[in-house]
Structure 1
Amino acid sequence: MSHTLAIIVLAAAGAVMVIAGLLFFRHPRWLLTWIKGTAVFGVILAGLYVLVIAVNLSSYHSLVGLQTAASISTQRQAEQIWQVSLQSQDGLSVVRTLQGDQWQIDARILRFTGPFRWLDIAPGYRLEQLSGRYTSLEQERSAPRTSIGLAEGIWPDLWQWDRQFNLPFVEAVDGSMTFMPMRDGAVFEVKLSSSGLVAVPVNEQAREAVQFWNQ
Structure 2
Amino acid sequence: MQFLGLALIAAVVAALLVLLALRQGWRMNWLGGWLRGNLLLALLALAAVVGLAAWDVQHFRVIESKVTAGTLTFTQVAPQHYEAVISGPEGEQKVSLAGDLWEIEVQVLRWQGLASVIGLEDGYRLHRLLGRYLALEQQRDASSGLSANLNPTPAWRDVWVWADRLSGRSLVQADAFEVRFVPLVDGARFSLDIGPTGLTPEPLNAQAKAAMKRFQ
TM-score (norm 1): 0.69
Q: CA deviation at 1:56?
A: 4.4
Mapping of 1:76-87 within 5 angstroms? 76-87=76-87
Contact 1:173 1:195 in 2 (8 A): no
| 1:65 corresponds to 2:39 | no
SS at match of 1:188: strand
Q: CA deviation at 1:84?
A: 1.2
After superposition, what is the alpha-carbon deviation per residue over 1:174-207, rounded to whole angstroms, capped at 9, x for unaligned? 2222231111111111111233322111111111
Q: CA deviation at 1:59?
A: 2.8
SS at match of 1:178: strand
After superposition, what is the alpha-carbon deviation per residue over 1:24-73, rounded to whole angstroms, capped at 9, x for unaligned? xxxxxxxxxxxxxxxxxxxx9xx98xx57655432312222221101111
Contact 2:177 2:198 in 1 (8 A): yes
- Give the aligned partner of residue 20 of structure 2: none
Matching residue's letter, 1:110: L
SS at match of 1:105: strand
- Give the aligned partner of residue 122 of structure 1: 121
Matching residue's letter, 1:207: K
- Give the aligned partner of residue 189 of structure 1: 191
Task: Determine the C-alpha separation between the residues in 1 that align with 2:91 and 2:101.
Answer: 22
Task: Determine the C-alpha separation between the residues in 1 that align with 2:61 and 2:163.
Answer: 18
Contact 1:111 1:194 in 2 (8 A): no
Structure 1, unaligned stretches of length 5 or more? 1-43
Q: CA deviation at 1:96?
A: 2.3
SS at match of 1:184: coil
SS at match of 1:207: helix
Task: Determine the C-alpha separation between the residues in 2 that align with 1:152 and 1:161.
Answer: 16
- Give the aligned partner of residue 165 of structure 2: 164
Matching residue's letter, 1:148: A
TM-score (norm 2): 0.69
Task: Determine the C-alpha separation between the residues in 1 that align with 2:66 and 2:180.
Answer: 17
Quote the sequence identity (%): 28
Contact 2:181 2:215 in 1 (8 A): no
Task: Determine the C-alpha separation between the residues in 1 that align with 2:74 and 2:202.
Answer: 14
- Give the aligned partner of residue 149 of structure 1: 149
Corresponding residue pairs, total: 168
Which consecutive segments of 4 or more residues in structure 1 shift more than 4 A? 51-56
Question: Aligned-residue CA RMSD in angstroms?
Answer: 2.5
After superposition, what is the alpha-carbon deviation per residue over 1:61-108, rounded to whole angstroms, capped at 9, x for unaligned? 2222221101111111221011211111x1321122211011122111
After superposition, what is the alpha-carbon deviation per residue over 1:116-174, rounded to whole angstroms, capped at 9, x for unaligned? 11111111111111121111112111134422111221664332122222232211002
